[in-house]
Amino acid sequence: MSNFTVVETETLQQGITRLFGGDSTISESTPVAGGCINQGRRLRLSTGTTLFCKKNTLENEGMFLAEAQGLAALIGLCSRVAGPRVPEPVGLIQTAHNQYLLLEWIDTGRKTLRSTQEFAVALAALHSAVVTTDELPGSVPRAAADETVPIPEAGSPVRQYGFVGNNYIGSTPQINTWNTSWVDFFARHRLGYQLDLARRNGLTNSSMLTLADAVLQRLPELLPEPDHPSMLHGDLWSGNIMVDAHGSMVLIDPAVYLGHYEADLAMMELFGSPGPSFYEAYEHTAPLEPGYEDRRELYNLYHLLNHLNLFGGSYRGSVMRVLERFS
């Protein structure tokens, strides 16, 4: 994020002027539909530059800065391994009450069979890559639970799960404390955190908590430790994949962390399926491991719990079905 700038101003317009120069003004601002967490707008500047602007309140502190860090990490790794396209973060403007994330504007196009296959190959390349410290913004990782783990040297492989800071999954904080075990990381900072949040929100009962405890106890036998941590988009449902004017699929709105690549693939199937052509192309590059179809439900339990916390009791039945299956 060498060119990414954070400015604090009284208004969005003042921030635009500071980021792009004294002659830059907003000449056109058009709402963009599609988001349920943030407000999106297409900004046309007097200089001819077009930007995508995401707006949220300051209640979710650090949300957009964390997203920009995730985008930067994805851009760095994807450029090295021919991964999917990712929009470039341009700047962050903070006013007294709101935050605005500015991104490059990407014109949209139509998805084709070829674009689906090319995206599958690119995503497999991203998931297969060994992440190095050079691809992480900010500090290098160190497991909080084990201070004997040495700090990796610059350019060395990252062997831990998590990210350089916490971020958000929707509007829910996502905890990314480094951990040397994927299974323990997933138990603590994915399922465990969401379950505790649901309990505090009054969305659980004794039956759910008993089943959840049994599932957490079984996780070491249900989930494998991967060969290496993969950089994940983190919230990879169809609404967070767009198609640009050239037909290439683009990753947007990430919740980046290092984890098991199966967690990304599982999320792609939570509200539909990318289809057989996607999996044929993906597995040609990176074959799936046996048992993925069963583990998929466990990984999506994280997102079901998050939806329970975000949207309420309508997701309780889906959560209970997964807990009953794996308890």
Domains, the chain, with CATH or none:
5-104 (3.30.200.20), 113-326 (3.90.1200.10)
Active-site residue numbers?
235
C-beta of residue 258 within 8 angstroms of C-beta of residue 230: yes
What's the whole-model pTM score? 0.94
Condensed to tens digits (0 to 9), the pLDDT of residues 258-283 reads 999 999 999 999 998 999 999 999 99
When mean pLDDT is compared across 18-32, 81-95, 169-183, the lowest value belongs to: 18-32
Condensed to tens digits (0 to 9), the pLDDT of residues 307-316 reads 999 999 899 9
More confident residue, 1 or 162: 162
- What is the bridge-based pairing of β-strands 50-57 and 98-104? antiparallel
Condensed to tens digits (0 to 9), the pLDDT of residues 161-213 reads 999 999 999 999 999 999 999 999 999 999 999 999 999 999 999 999 999 99
Give the whole-angstrom CA distance, residue 191 versus residue 193.
6
- Calculate the CA 274 to chain-centre distance: 18
Please determine, for residue 76, whether its predicted confidence score (pLDDT) is greater than 90: yes
C-beta of residue 176 within 8 angstroms of C-beta of residue 287: no
Please, what's the largest Cα pairwise distance for the chain? 62
Please determine, for residue 151, whether its predicted confidence score (pLDDT) is greater than 70: no
Instruction: Indicate the burial class of 298 (C-beta count within 10 angstroms; 0-12, 13-18, 19 or more).
Output: buried
Cβ count within 10 A of residue 185: 26
Return the closest-CA partner of residue 102 out of 52, 56, 64, 61.
52
Give the whole-angstrom CA distance, residue 315 versus residue 307.
7
Residue type, 50: T
Tokens 């601002």 belong to residue: 29
The Cβ-side half-sphere exposure at 94, using a 13 Å CA radius, reads: 12
